[in-house]
Structure 1
Amino acid sequence: MKNRPRLAAALAGVLAAPLVLVALPTGTAFAHGYVSSPASRQAQCASRTISCGAIQYEPQSVEGPKGLKSCHANLQQFAELSNDNKGWRVHNVGSTVTFNWTFTARHRTRDYDYFVDGRKVANFSGNNQQPPATVSHKVNVPKGKHKVLAVWNIGDTAMAFYSCIDVNVS
């Protein structure tokens, strides 16, 4: 009789374990970060604004070696991000644009680079620190329609994350 409460507790634990595992939040093993606003090309895919392939399920995963200048980080499965004729939504903005990064895994950050039509226009240090869940940068963009390439350079690896944003500065 003395062991009945222990047996009942052990049985309850065994029965509850599968429920606890199902209720726990799942981690994103291959998740990282992207520009969420103005909506980058991968953000448009994720929100189904534009019909896309695999990138719609993992907009944060456009990762490649530092120094690339492509929207898809030379990853074949995301090649459509570099297709300038896909019908990407162009954001009407002022000459100072605030780019907001959303991170799903926050790596130590060397810096962030911004390129307008292939020309570097801004750099922000990450101080080799882990960023908060979101980071914003104000970047001056010249008048006209442009493709902005935003690059998050990781501090402790040879990798970076890439996001392209289409803007029209009036």
Structure 2
Amino acid sequence: MDRKRRLALAIGAGIAPLLVVTMPVGPAGAHGYVSSPPSRQAQCAAGTIECGPIKWEPQSVEGPKGLTSCSGGNSQFADLDDDSKGWRVTPIGSSQAFSWKLTARHATSTWQYFIGGKKVAEFNDGGARPPETVTHTVNFGGITGRQKILAVWNVADTANAFYACIDVTIGGQGRS
């Protein structure tokens, strides 16, 4: 009996490393999003707007670099691309601080902000690992009125980026 037990342990010890190597790895469940002013996924997470599964993982809007969609090309987060959904609009001035909440701190190449497909700001981190909260102040110059800002976090060591859209009224009033 003792011999059978030792044999079973030896077989188990031999198979365990193979199981670890061949088991599928799930996707990483955490990354980052704009928390202030509230991005569309922050509004979903807070229950301000009904938007499906993004409510449970606002930090997961990841896709290939260079996209221009709020969903990062993820069909399960397509609600983020729907401009008619009733997103809360934040009134801001001609310059505004944007805070990212990061749940996984990837090495970063750049942070970019776009309005209507035009880049209005870029911050270069040169591959550094950011802290858990990152804040950038963006100056919008002469841009005014209701705008949808696309904020992009470009990861340095992968082909991916994280996307967030923020609905604002620059120099005016938003709706609450």
TM-score, L = length of structure 2: 0.80
- Tell me the residue number matched to 2:54: 55
Per mean C-alpha deviation after superposition, the further-off stretch among 135-144 and 75-84 is 135-144
Task: Give SS of 1:36's match.
Answer: strand
Cα deviation, residue 52, structure 1: 1.2
Cα deviation, residue 126, structure 1: 1.3
Amino acid at match of 2:67: L
- Tell me the residue number matched to 2:131: 132
Q: How does 1:147-158 map to 2 (within 5 A)?
A: 147-158=148-159
The aligned length equals 143
- Tell me the residue number matched to 1:120: 119
Which sections of structure 1, spanning at least 5 residues, go unmatched?
1-27
- Tell me the residue number matched to 1:81: 80
TM-score, L = length of structure 1: 0.82
- Tell me the residue number matched to 1:34: 33
Percent of pairs with identical residues? 59
- Tell me the residue number matched to 1:161: 162
Query: Could you give the per-residue CA deviations for residues 76-107 of structure 1, whole angstroms, max 9, x where no partner exists?
Result: 00001010000000000111011100000000
Cα deviation, residue 111, structure 1: 0.5
- Tell me the residue number matched to 2:24: none
Amino acid at match of 2:146: K
Query: Could you give the per-residue CA deviations for residues 37-73 of structure 1, whole angstroms, max 9, x where no partner exists?
Result: 0000000000001111000000000000000000001
Amino acid at match of 2:93: G
Task: Give SS of 2:146's match.
Answer: strand
- Hey, what's the Cα distance between the residues in 1 that align with 2:35 and 2:163? 12
- Hey, what's the Cα distance between the residues in 2 that align with 1:94 and 1:131? 26
- Tell me the residue number matched to 1:4: none
- Hey, what's the Cα distance between the residues in 2 that align with 1:160 and 1:66? 5
Query: Could you give the per-residue CA deviations for residues 19-43 of structure 1, whole angstroms, max 9, x where no partner exists?
Result: xxxxxxxxx9410000000000000
Task: Give SS of 1:69's match.
Answer: coil
Amino acid at match of 1:70: S
- Hey, what's the Cα distance between the residues in 2 that align with 1:117 and 1:137? 19
1:107 aligns with 2:120: no
